[in-house]
C-alpha cells in the first residue's frame, strides 16, 4: 500500500477507534486525547508542530510513536502526518539520535538517571531524548501532558528524572480474582484464561502506569498463595510481563514463606536450612527463565497469620537475606514488609514494627528493602508518620501507601489521597536535625540509600472506570506522580489531573481541585477527628464501630484504640502511657508528648484527654469533637453543592455517577457522625453543642447494622 494511503488508513483507524470507543465511562482515564476546544490555542499548536521523527526501533519506541500519533491526532484533531508547523518533533534516545543533534544534549543527559528525559527546543525542533527508550517514553507522555494541560510548547527546556527507583503498585489480588480490600470489581488478571487469552486491558493498564512513571507491579496479594510460583502460573505471569515490558513495568510476585513445603515437598521452610536455601535458589533461577527482568519478591511474613522465619525461631533478617541471596545474581530485590504486630505484645501495637526491625539496622543485604506503611497502625484517614522513617540509617527502606480505601469508605467516598501522601512526605523526622523529612528518607538522600521505593496498594479492578469512582482515578494518578517526585504539590497534581480528565476551563479546574483537596480533611473529620483511629466496624472496616470490644485479639478492637471512659478519650502514648513517642527523634517525641505542642489533629492518637479539656479554639474536647464531626458532614454537603453546579461542564454519565456517589457519601458521613457521637456521649455525658445536628437514630440502631456482604472483605476473617 502506498505510504500516504497507509497513513490515511491508520489515521482513520485512530479516529474510528476514538469515536467508536469514545464514551464518558472513564475507561480512558487521564489519557483521553479529546480535541482542544479553545480554537485559538488549537490553531497555535497546529502552527507550531511540524512533522514527527522517531529514532530507534525497540518496542518501547514503537509505543511512544503510537502514543504521540494518537495523542496529537486526538488533541489537534488532525492527522499527525499532516502537521507542518514551525517545529518538528525529534524523538529518540541519545544513542539513536543523529550525531549532530545528540551532541547538543550531552550536558543535560549527564544529570539524568536512566529513566529521566529532556524536552528541549533547539532551532527548528523540539527534541525529546533520554539515556534509554523508557526515558523517551516518559518524555513523550510529558510532552503530551503539556498539550493536554494547554501549556506553552515554545522555548522548552525541561529535564526530569524520577527521584525514587522502585515506583510500584501492590495488588492485593487473589488467584480466584477476588481482591482483598478491592472495591472496583474483580482482579484484572484473568488467571484462568492466561497465558493464551491476552485481554487488551493488560496493555491499557501498563500504558496508564507508564504515563505516570510507575515502573513496577506486584501482581498478587501479600496474603499469598504459593501456587503462583509454580510453572503453571509462571507461564501466565510471563504473558503479563511480556505485555508490560515495553512500558517499563516490571513484574514482581508475593512469595509465600512456606512455599518450599507447600509446593516444594520439603519438610521445613527454615531459612537457615540448606535444602530450603537451595529450593529458593532454584525457584528464582526458574522464574528468571520465564521472566528475564523479573523484579523480585514482596513478602509479608509473621504477620496476621502469614508464615515466616519466626516459625523456625529465626528472625526477619534470616528470612529476607535468604531470599535476597537467591535473587542477587539476577539483580532482583526483596521487599520485606514491616507490617507486623502480635497479640502477645501487650504494650502498644503502634510500637511493634519498630521494636522488631530497628535493632536489626545494617544487617539486611543490599538487595533487601524494608516496606513500611506510612503510619504505625494501618492506613487510617490520618496517622502520624511511622517512627521507622529515618530510624534505620543503614537499611534500605520504602514507604507503603494504601491507594485503595479500606478505611475511607471504599470506592464510594471521594477522598483525594495525594493530600495525605504529601502530608506524610512533608513530615519532619528530625533524624538528622530539622528538615529531615520523610521525603528525604524515602528518596534516599538523608542516609544515602542504595535502593529506594514507594509502593501503593492498588485501587484498580475490572470496573469499566478502573477504580470504581471516577475521582479515585486521581489517587492512582497522584500516587504515580508523587512516587516519581515526592516533593510535588498535591494541589498542582489535582489540577493537572482535572485538566487531563475533565476540562481545562478555569473555573471548573479551580472548583473541582478545591473540592478534591478539601475531601481529605472531610473524611478525617467525619470518621476520625482529632487523632481518633481504627474505630471502623470489624472485618470489612465499612462504617463506624467504636463500640466493638469482643474480638479475640485485643488490638483488633476499636476500644483498644480510643480508650474512651468517663474520664476522657484517647490513647496515651506519652511516657505516662505506652511511651510510643520515645520511638521518634527527641524533638518529635517532645512535640508529641506535650499537650501544648502536640498538633490537635493528632491529639487523641497520643493523649488520653478529659472531656472538658480546653482545645486551642476555646471549645471543650467534647464540643470540639462533635463540631469536627459536623464539619466533616458539612464539607461533604459542600462537595455535593460544588458538583451540582457543574452539571453543564461535565458529560452526563460521569456527572450522574459522581453525583449519586456523593449522595451516598453524605449519607454515610452523617451515619459516622451520629453513631460515633452517640457512642462517645455515653462517656462524656455532655449535650451536643449548638450547631451539631441531632442523630437520626438511637445508638442501638447503629450497633445493630450488619453488612455481611460488604465488598473487599478478607475471606478468611
Ligand atoms: C493484606 C490490614 C488489612 C488486611 C491486609 C493487611 C496488610 O490488616 O485489613 O486486609 O492484608 O492490613 O497490610 O497486610
Write out the DSSP string of 88-145: EEEEE-TTTS-HHHHGGGHHHHHT--TT-EEEEEETTEEEEEESSHHHHHHHHHHHHH
Q: Closest ligand 1 atom, CA of 221?
A: 1
Chain CA centroid to CA 660, Å: 25
Q: Which pLDDT score, from 0 to 100, does residue 716 have?
A: 52
Q: Closest ligand 1 atom, CA of 402?
A: 13
Q: Which pLDDT score, from 0 to 100, does residue 344 have?
A: 82
Distances (CA, A) of 564 to 200, 217, 444, 570, 682: 52, 41, 40, 6, 9
Q: Closest ligand 1 atom, CA of 303?
A: 14
Q: Ligand 1 mean position to 288 CA, how many Å?
A: 29
Ligand 1: which of 173, 375, 378, 459 to mutate, judged by most atoms within 8 Å of the beta carbon?
Answer: 378
Q: Which pLDDT score, from 0 to 100, does residue 209 have?
A: 99
Q: Is there a contact between 297 and 261 (Cβ–Cβ < 8 Å)? A: no
Q: Ligand 1 mean position to 369 CA, how many Å?
A: 19
Q: Ligand 1 mean position to 368 CA, how many Å?
A: 21
Ligand 1: which of 173, 181, 349 to mutate, judged by most atoms within 8 Å of the beta carbon?
Answer: 181
Q: Which pLDDT score, from 0 to 100, does residue 552 have?
A: 85
Q: Closest ligand 1 atom, CA of 717?
A: 10
Residue nearest to atom 8 of ligand 1 (CA): 378
What is the block-wise mean pLDDT of the chain (717 residues), using blocks of 10 residues?
A: 39 42 80 96 96 96 97 94 94 97 93 97 97 98 98 97 98 97 98 98 98 99 98 98 98 98 98 98 98 98 95 98 98 98 87 97 98 98 98 98 98 98 98 98 96 98 98 99 98 98 97 98 98 96 96 90 98 98 98 98 98 98 98 98 97 97 98 98 98 98 96 70
User: In sequence order, which residues have a C-beta less than 8 Å from that of residue 41 and are 6 or more positions away?
Assistant: 150
Residue nearest to atom 2 of ligand 1 (CA): 378
Residue nearest to atom 13 of ligand 1 (CA): 339
Contacts 24+ apart (CB under 8 A), 551-555: 552/343, 553/343, 554/343, 554/346, 555/341, 555/343, 555/349
Q: Ligand 1 mean position to 300 CA, how many Å?
A: 10
Q: Ligand 1 mean position to 424 CA, how many Å?
A: 20
Q: Is there a contact between 155 and 437 (Cβ–Cβ < 8 Å)? A: no
DSSP state of 296: E
Q: Closest ligand 1 atom, CA of 181?
A: 10
User: In sequence order, which residues have a C-beta less than 8 Å from that of residue 295 and are 6 or more positions away?
Assistant: 166, 168, 216, 250, 251, 252, 332, 333
For the record, the C-alpha cell of 244 comes out as 508490560
Q: Closest ligand 1 atom, CA of 172?
A: 1
Q: Which pLDDT score, from 0 to 100, does residue 553 have?
A: 86
Ligand 1: which of 714, 716, 717 to mutate, judged by most atoms within 8 Å of the beta carbon?
Answer: 714
Active site residues: 304, 378, 406
Q: Ligand 1 mean position to 461 CA, how many Å?
A: 18
Ligand 1: which of 173, 304, 553 to mutate, judged by most atoms within 8 Å of the beta carbon?
Answer: 304
Residue nearest to atom 12 of ligand 1 (CA): 378
Q: Which pLDDT score, from 0 to 100, does residue 108 have?
A: 92
Which residues line ligand 1 at a C-beta cut-off of 6 Å?
A: 172, 180-181, 222-223, 300, 304, 339, 378, 406, 714
Q: Which pLDDT score, from 0 to 100, does residue 20 have?
A: 37
Helix (H/G/I), strand (E/B), else coil: 629: helix
Helix (H/G/I), strand (E/B), else coil: 443: coil
Q: Do you know the residue count of the chain?
A: 717
Q: Which pLDDT score, from 0 to 100, does residue 9 have?
A: 40
Q: What are phi and psi of 122, to 5 degrees?
A: -135, 130
Rg of the chain over Cα atoms, rounded to whole angstroms, equals: 26
| Rounded Cα gap, residues 357 and 389, in angstroms | 12
Q: Ligand 1 mean position to 678 CA, how many Å?
A: 29
Helix (H/G/I), strand (E/B), else coil: 573: coil
Amino acid at each position: 500500500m502506498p505510504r500516504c494511503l497507509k497513513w490515511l488508513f491508520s489515521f482513520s483507524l485512530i479516529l474510528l477507534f476514538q469515536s467508536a470507543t469514545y464514551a464518558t465511562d472513564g475507561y480512558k482515564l487521564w489519557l483521553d486525547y479529546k480535541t482542544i476546544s479553545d480554537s485559538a490555542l488549537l490553531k497555535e499548536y497546529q502552527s507550531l508542530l511540524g512533522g514527527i521523527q522517531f529514532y530507534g526501533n525497540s518496542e518501547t519506541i514503537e509505543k511512544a510513536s503510537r502514543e504521540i500519533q494518537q495523542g496529537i491526532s486526538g488533541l489537534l484533531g488532525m492527522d499527525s502526518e499532516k502537521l507542518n508547523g514551525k517545529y518538528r518533533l525529534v524523538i529518540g534516545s541519545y544513542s539513536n539520535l543523529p550525531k549532530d543533534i545528540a551532541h547538543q544534549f550531552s550536558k543535560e543527559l549527564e544529570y539524568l538517571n536512566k529513566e529521566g528525559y529532556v524536552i528541549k527546543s533547539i532551532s527548528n525542533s523540539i527534541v525529546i531524548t533520554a539515556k534509554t527508550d523508557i526515558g523517551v517514553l516518559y518524555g513523550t507522555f510529558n510532552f503530551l501532558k503539556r498539550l493536554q494541560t494547554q501549556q506553552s510548547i515554545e522555548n522548552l527546556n525541561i529535564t526530569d528524572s524520577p527521584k525514587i527507583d522502585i515506583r510500584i503498585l501492590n495488588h492485593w489480588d487473589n488467584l480466584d480474582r477476588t481482591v482483598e480490600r478491592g472495591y472496583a470489581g474483580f482482579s484484572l488478571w484473568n488467571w484462568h484464561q492466561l497465558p493464551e487469552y491476552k485481554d487488551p486491558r493488560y496493555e491499557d493498564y501498563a500504558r496508564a502506569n507508564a504515563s505516570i512513571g510507575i515502573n513496577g507491579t506486584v501482581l498478587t496479594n501479600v496474603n499469598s498463595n504459593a501456587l503462583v510460583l509454580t510453572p503453571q502460573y509462571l507461564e501466565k505471569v510471563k504473558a503479563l510481563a511480556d505485555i508490560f515490558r515495553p512500558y517499563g513495568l516490571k513484574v514482581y510476585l508475593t512469595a509465600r514463606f512456606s512455599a518450599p513445603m507447600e509446593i516444594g515437598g520439603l519438610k521445613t521452610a527454615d531459612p537457615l536450612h540448606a535444602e530450603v536455601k537451595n529450593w529458593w535458589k532454584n525457584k528464582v533461577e526458574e522464574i528468571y527463565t520465564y521472566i528475564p527482568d523479573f523484579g523480585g519478591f514482596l513478602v509479608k511474613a509473621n504477620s496476621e497469620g502469614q508464615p515466616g522465619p519466626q516459625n523456625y525461631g529465626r528472625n526477619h533478617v534470616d528470612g529476607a537475606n535468604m531470599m535476597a541471596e537467591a535473587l542477587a545474581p539476577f539483580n532482583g530485590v526483596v521487599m520485606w514488609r514491616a507490617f507486623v504486630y502480635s497479640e502477645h505484645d501487650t504494650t502498644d501495637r503502634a510500637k511493634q514494627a519498630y521494636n522488631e526491625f530497628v535493632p536489626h539496622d545494617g544487617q539486611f543485604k543490599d538487595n533487601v528493602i524494608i516496606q513500611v506503611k506510612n503510619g504505625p497502625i494501618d492506613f487510617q484517614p490520618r496517622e502520624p508518620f511511622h517512627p521507622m522513617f529515618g530510624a534505620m540509617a543503614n537499611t534500605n527502606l520504602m514507604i507503603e501507601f494504601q491507594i485503595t480505601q479500606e478505611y475511607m469508605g471504599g470506592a464510594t467516598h471521594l477522598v483525594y489521597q495525594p493530600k495525605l501522601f504529601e502530608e506524610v512526605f512533608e513530615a519532619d523526622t528530625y533524624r538528622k536535625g530539622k528538615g529531615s523529612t520523610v521525603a528525604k528518607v524515602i528518596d534516599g538522600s538523608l542516609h544515602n540509600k542504595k535502593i529506594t521505593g514507594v509502593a501503593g496498594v492498588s485501587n484498580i479492578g475490572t470496573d469499566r472506570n478502573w477504580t470504581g469512582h471516577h475521582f479515585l482515578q486521581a489517587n492512582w494518578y497522584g500516587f504515580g506522580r508523587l512516587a516519581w517526585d515526592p516533593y510535588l504539590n498535591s494541589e498542582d497534581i489535582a489540577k493537572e489531573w482535572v485538566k487531563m480528565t475533565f476540562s481545562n476551563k478555569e473555573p471548573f479546574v479551580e472548583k473541582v481541585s478545591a473540592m478534591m483537596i478539601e475531601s481529605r480533611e472531610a473524611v478525617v473529620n467525619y470518621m476520625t477527628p482529632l487523632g481518633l483511629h481504627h474505630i471502623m466496624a470489624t472485618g470489612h472496616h465499612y462504617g463506624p464501630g467504636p463500640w466493638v470490644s469482643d474480638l479475640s485479639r485485643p488490638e483488633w478492637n476499636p476500644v483498644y484504640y480510643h480508650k474512651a471512659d468517663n474520664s476522657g478519650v484517647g490513647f496515651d502514648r506519652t511516657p505516662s502511657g505506652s511511651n510510643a513517642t520515645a520511638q521518634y527523634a527527641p524533638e518529635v517525641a517532645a512535640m508529641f508528648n506535650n499537650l501544648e505542642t502536640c498538633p490537635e489533629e493528632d491529639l487523641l492518637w497520643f493523649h488520653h484527654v478529659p472531656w472538658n479539656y480546653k482545645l486551642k479554639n476555646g471549645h471543650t474536647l467534647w464540643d470540639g469533637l462533635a463540631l469536627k464531626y459536623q464539619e466533616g458532614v458539612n464539607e461533604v454537603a459542600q462537595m455535593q453543592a460544588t458538583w451540582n453546579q457543574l452539571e453543564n461542564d461535565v458529560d452526563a454519565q460521569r456527572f450522574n455517577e459522581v453525583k449519586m456517589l456523593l449522595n451516598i457519601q453524605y449519607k454515610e458521613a452523617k451515619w459516622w457522625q451520629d453513631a460515633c457521637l452517640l457512642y462517645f456521649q455515653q462517656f462524656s455525658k455532655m449535650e451536643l453543642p449548638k450547631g451539631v445536628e441531632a442523630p437520626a437514630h438511637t445508638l442501638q440502631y447503629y450497633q445493630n447494622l450488619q453488612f455481611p456482604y460488604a465488598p473487599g472483605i478478607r475471606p478468611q476473617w
